[in-house]
Amino acid sequence: MSQLSYKPESCGELPFSDLHCHSCYSDGELTPAELLKGAADKGVGVFAITDHDTVVGVREFKSAAVEYEIQAIAGTELTSQWGRSMVHIIGLGFDETDAALTNYLKKIDELRLVRASLISKRLCKRNIPDLLPRALELAGSGQIGRPHFAFAMVEAGVVNNETQAFNRYLGAGKIGDVKVDWPTMEQAIDIIHQAGGIAVLAHPTKYNMTFTKVRLLTGAFSEQGGDAIEISYPGIESGHLLQLDKLASKHKLMVSAGSDFHKRQFHWTGIGKYPRYSSNNPHVLSKLLQD
Ligand code: AMP
Ligand code: MN
Ligand code: MN
Ligand code: MN
pTM of the model: 0.95
Predicted local confidence at residue 8, as pLDDT: 37
Report d(CA 233, CA 241) in Å as an integer. 9
Atom of ligand 1 nearest to the CA of 53: 2
Q: What is the pLDDT of residues 161-191, one digit of tens each?
A: 999 999 999 999 999 999 999 999 999 999 9
Check pocket membership of 161 for ligand 1, CB cut-off 6 A: no
Is the predicted pLDDT of residue 3 greater than 60, yes or no? Answer: no
Distance (Å, whole) CA 281 – CA 284: 9
Q: How far is the CA of 209 from the centre of ligand 3 (A)?
A: 14
**For residues 193-199, average pLDDT:** 98
With a 6 A CB cut-off, is 51 part of the ligand 1 pocket?
Answer: no
Contact 74, 96 (CB under 8 A): yes
The mean of the pLDDT values for the chain is 94
Dump pLDDT digits (tens) for 115-150.
999 999 999 999 999 999 999 999 999 999 999 999
Give pLDDT tens digits for 24-39. 999 999 999 999 999 9
pLDDT at residue 280 greater than cutoff 60? yes
pLDDT at 47: 98
Q: How far apart are CA 257 and CA 229, in angstroms?
A: 8
**What pLDDT was estimated at residue 159?**
98
Say yes or no: CB of residue 115 within 6 Å of ligand 1: no
Q: What is the pLDDT of residue 291?
A: 65
CA 69 to ligand 2 centroid distance, Å: 27
Would you state the pLDDT for residue 1? Answer: 30
Task: Write the pLDDT tens digit of every residue in 235-269.
Answer: 999 999 999 999 999 999 999 999 999 999 988 89
Q: For a pocket test of ligand 1, which of 20, 30, 87, 146 has the largest count of ligand atoms closer than 8 A to its C-beta?
A: 146
Helix (H), strand (E), coil (C) string for 84-116: CEEEEEEEECCCCCCHHHHHHHHHHHHHHHHHH
Question: How many CA atoms does the CB half-sphere of 207 hold within 13 Å?
Answer: 25
Least confident of 61-65, 165-169, 184-188, 275-279: 275-279
